[in-house]
Amino acid sequence: MNEQRKTRKIFTSKKFPNKQVRTKKVVEVEDEQCGITFNKIKTDSLSSCIFTIIFGELSAKPIAYLSHCSLTYQPRLFTPTTTAAAFIKEIENDMLDLFNEKYAANPIEKPNLTQLQNLKMVIGAGGKVKPDLIRKGLALLNSPKNNINQHLKTEGALHLYCQLQNNVKIMEPITFIMNDDDEDLGAEGENVVDPPGIKLLFDCYTKNLNNAYLLTVPVQEICNHDLNDQLSSAGEKLVVVICFATDCTASKSIAPYIEYLNAKYLNAVFLKADIGKRMNEFIMYSIAVTPTFLFFQHGEQVARLQSANKESIEEIILKFYKDAPLDYIEYMNLKPFIEEKGCMALNTIDAWQNAIFGNKKDSLRSNADSSELILHIAFNQFVNIYSIAIEALEESGPNTVKLFINHQTIDFNHVKTIEAVQILKFEKIQLKHGLPIELQFDKFENVNSLSLFFANNQSNFNQTTIQSITIFGTLAATTKNKATTNM
């Protein structure tokens, strides 16, 4: 596995190099690339890289888009909703670049993204990460109650969002992510355990996705007196024990399918026990037929199956199986909790509402002769602020932003003489995509007002321009009369 396959934060990733667009035969999409085809499209050796296939019609002609990349999203910077929005923006940008390349010689024929119709998405492969924000976020597209569209500004991104509603298929991750030490050893020619990989080929006409997920994971065989320890360590997980015999044809036949289930149900424990070894722990279960499947949860037997029927096995698994809980909080947009009458802006020529509420298409700009501006935001109840996203023009967007909290009033004298709670530095790519920057969370609890001092912009222009500001967080547990307010 090469260096490019390492996971990275989205705002440090580079655009996929060497993009290919062809309309004949098969388009091959390598690691860290994407492509568009009207026929067949394929990629090889997927493991920790994620594949995304979007297929449908472009001007009534079959089309498919495939990306093969290792992008990941950090849970302290993204929520499922903002992850899905950022993912859609990446796809939009890739498609626009690919169309520009394909139609460079005949730009008048270049299609618009809104001409894409009947779209469906399949996403799969990737490493077993926790929390898996990409899968969690894209799953929201299948839910009627999502606000992903609130984070999308362009016509193309909104069209993709509408087309993909209820049209996303999410496949389980297939592998672990190799650690940096093994990565370096492998690059030096040392023998290391390489994650399993898959190859896939998609046909635009038949809609067949071939060779995806041939992965199986060996099932651990337990020895005498191991079962109780395994049940205890499993906690709330479903434990599936396959009691087999080495001379049993049915046991041998069902084994590959059980290894497939072991790869599919990540939060279950699969074990196998050779009954021919006369293990004492299994006497109480009276195993007379092989294979026999015993199902446990919380250390207790919850089901039993004396059959090698695949449908029956998976039906019982689905009855008791629970996905692993995701260890993050869903941070929300705090816009509904902003108290408009308590907000103000200094040294601006536009209404501050342009950036916060999006009342107009106009931006929030500083005066023409100064790049500095202050935005004071009041909340109608106490909140905990987790991250701030600013969308702006790359050249005139803000660079250094100083944050102050819980001030009733604030001016330029204050922001230049008192210490800021935190100072943020925005990169151009963060402004371009409106990517959130995480705050020092413990310093932004029980906030009833947030003041932002925009000290300069990206190119030292005389005027700073801001298109939108989004504040993410939660409602504070404390009540308003328990917090203090600075004067």
SS3 readout for 429-441: HHHHHCCEEECCH
Q: What pLDDT shows up at residue 358?
A: 66
Return the structure tokens found at 318: 């689905």
Has residue 276 got a pLDDT over 80? Answer: yes
Q: Which neighbouring-strand residues pair with 454? A: 373, 401
Lowest mean pLDDT among 113-127, 255-269, 412-426: 255-269
- Mean pLDDT across 249-262: 87
- Mean pLDDT across 61-75: 78
Sign of CA dihedral 276, 303, 213, 85: negative
Has residue 293 got a pLDDT over 50? Answer: yes
CATH 3.40.30.10: which residues of the chain?
220-320
Q: What pLDDT shows up at residue 68?
A: 84
Has residue 458 got a pLDDT over 60? Answer: yes
Q: What SS3 state is found at 95?
A: helix
Q: What SS3 state is found at 232?
A: helix
Return the structure tokens found at 183: 């990565």
Position 202 confidence tier, pLDDT thresholds 50, 70, 90: confident
Q: Where are the beta strands (DSSP E) in 326-399?
A: 332-333, 344-346, 364-365, 373-391
Q: What pLDDT shows up at residue 327?
A: 40
With tokens 């934060």, the residue in question is 9
pLDDT over 90, % of the chain: 24
CATH 2.60.120.470: which residues of the chain?
332-482
Task: Collect all residues with Cβ–Cβ distance below 8 Å to 481 and sequence separation of at least 6.
Answer: none
Lowest mean pLDDT among 35-44, 371-380, 387-396: 35-44
CA distance 26 to 203: 9
Look up residue 151 and give its amino acid.
H
Position 178 confidence tier, pLDDT thresholds 50, 70, 90: low
- Kindly report the average pLDDT of the chain as a whole number: 80
pLDDT in tens, 166-175: 888 887 676 6
pLDDT in tens, 17-61: 344 444 456 777 777 778 888 777 777 767 667 888 888 888 878
Which homologous superfamily does the CATH classification assign to the domain defined by 220-320?
Glutaredoxin (3.40.30.10)
From the list 353, 348, 352, the residue with the least C-alpha distance to 370 is 348
- Mean pLDDT across 221-227: 83
- Mean pLDDT across 421-441: 83
In what side-by-side order are the strands of the sheet with 168-170?
A: 20-21, 33-37, 61-69, 50-58, 116-125, 168-170
| 13-22, 168-177, 324-333: range with highest mean pLDDT | 168-177
pLDDT over 70, % of the chain: 80
Q: What pLDDT shows up at residue 197?
A: 64
The one-character DSSP state at 110 is: P
- Please tell me which residue, 32 or 373, carries the higher pLDDT value: 373
CA distance 68 to 33: 6
- Mean pLDDT across 383-390: 88
Q: Please tell me the CATH code under which domain 332-482 is placed.
A: 2.60.120.470
CA distance 241 to 301: 10
